[in-house]
Amino acid sequence: AQSVTQPDIHITVSEGASLELRCNYSYGATPYLFWYVQSPGQGLQLLLKYFSGDTLVQGIKGFEAEFKRSQSSFNLRKPSVHWSDAAEYFCAVGRGSLDSNYQLIWGAGTKLIIKP
Amino acid sequence: DAGVTQSPTHLIKTRGQQVTLRCSPKSGHDTVSWYQQALGQGPQFIFQYYEEEERQRGNFPDRFSGHQFPNYSSELNVNALLLGDSALYLCASSLEGRSSSGNTIYFGEGSWLTVV
């Protein structure tokens, strides 16, 4: 069965420091991979997605993620975090047809805490 | 351009009662999915509606039912509420159809349901 693992429940990073959030997935076929951010009062916002092609994906707010098939990973990175990045981050894999009825299978999330 | 809107934002129900949650998809979207997010966990897929029919369903009991209207809006109904149904219920919308970049799923801010 498909599954997504985010090993870190919480991560604390100093403002201005680099960030890497880990995500591992289990999926039999070529995965569709996503990172979403969830902030209070703002719902879930898509940061970036990987469907095919270049394994390094650029997203919004300065985030990027790298798909590594050999490691079944899709880690999220940012070179310098800002206090406004404090939120919960979710990795997800899409199951189904890419152009229509895919559903998302989610990790448990990683809460990012920013130290001033 | 309005995004995905959900109502109500918060509600409290008693065990055994029934609840209806409502969702209006993003303008132009025709597919609506519902997810349940328990505290501290990632969302879980409940079901998806397209052309007023349930197209996919996750591992949820029949107490969870839904409906999609001709204007693509949707309702989620939960009967015989249990304490364990307390969660954030997220509505997501997307557009059916072929896209080389894949269809992005957009989320509403959710409806917080507390069962006491």
Residue A15 above 60 pLDDT? yes
The residue with greater pLDDT, B103 or B31, is B31
Q: B46 to chain A, minimum CA–CA distance in Å?
A: 10
The residue with greater pLDDT, A51 or B34, is B34
Residue B96 above 80 pLDDT? no
Helix, strand, coil share of chain A (percent; to 5):
10, 55, 40
Average of pLDDT values for B60-86? Answer: 97
Task: Please judge whether A46 and B41 are an interchain contact, meaning their C-beta atoms are less than 8 angstroms apart.
Answer: no
Interior CA angle at A41 toward B14 and B69, to 5°? 65
Per cent of chain A over pLDDT 70 is 96
Average of pLDDT values for B57-83? Answer: 97
Task: Please judge whether A92 and B110 are an interchain contact, meaning their C-beta atoms are less than 8 angstroms apart.
Answer: no
Output the pLDDT for position A30. 76
Task: Please judge whether B97 and A44 are an interchain contact, meaning their C-beta atoms are less than 8 angstroms apart.
Answer: no
Output the pLDDT for position A42. 76
Output the pLDDT for position B1. 62
Phi, psi angle pair for A63, to nearest 5°: -85, 150
Per cent of chain B over pLDDT 90 is 81
Write the DSSP string, B50-96.
ETTEEEEE-S--TTEEEEE-TTS-EEEEE-S--GGG-EEEEEEEE--
In this predicted model, what pLDDT tens digit does every residue of A68-108 receive, in sequence order? 999 999 999 999 999 999 999 999 998 877 666 778 999 99
Least CB–CB distance from A46: residue in B56, B104, B109: B104
Give CA–CA dist B19/B5, Å, rounded.
17
> Smallest Cα–Cα separation from A28: which of A69, A67, A57, A83?
A69
Per cent of chain A over pLDDT 90 is 75
Task: Please judge whether B35 and A92 are an interchain contact, meaning their C-beta atoms are less than 8 angstroms apart.
Answer: no
> Smallest Cα–Cα separation from A33: which of A19, A41, A43, A21?
A21
Task: Please judge whether A101 and B45 are an interchain contact, meaning their C-beta atoms are less than 8 angstroms apart.
Answer: no
- pLDDT category of residue B100 using cuts at 50, 70 and 90: low
Output the pLDDT for position B84. 97
Give CA–CA dist A100/A104, Å, rounded.
12
Average of pLDDT values for B66-81? Answer: 97
Output the pLDDT for position B48. 94
Residue B92 above 80 pLDDT? yes
Residue B20 above 70 pLDDT? yes
B-chain residue closest to A48, CA distance:
B104
List chain B residues with CB under 8 Å of A99.
Answer: 96-99, 102-103
Q: How many Cβ pairs closer than 8 A exist between chain A and B?
A: 68
Mean pLDDT of chain A: 92
Contact B25, B72 (CB under 8 A): yes
Output the pLDDT for position B101. 54
Residues 6+ apart with CB under 8 A from B74: B22, B23, B25, B32, B34, B49, B66, B67, B68, B91
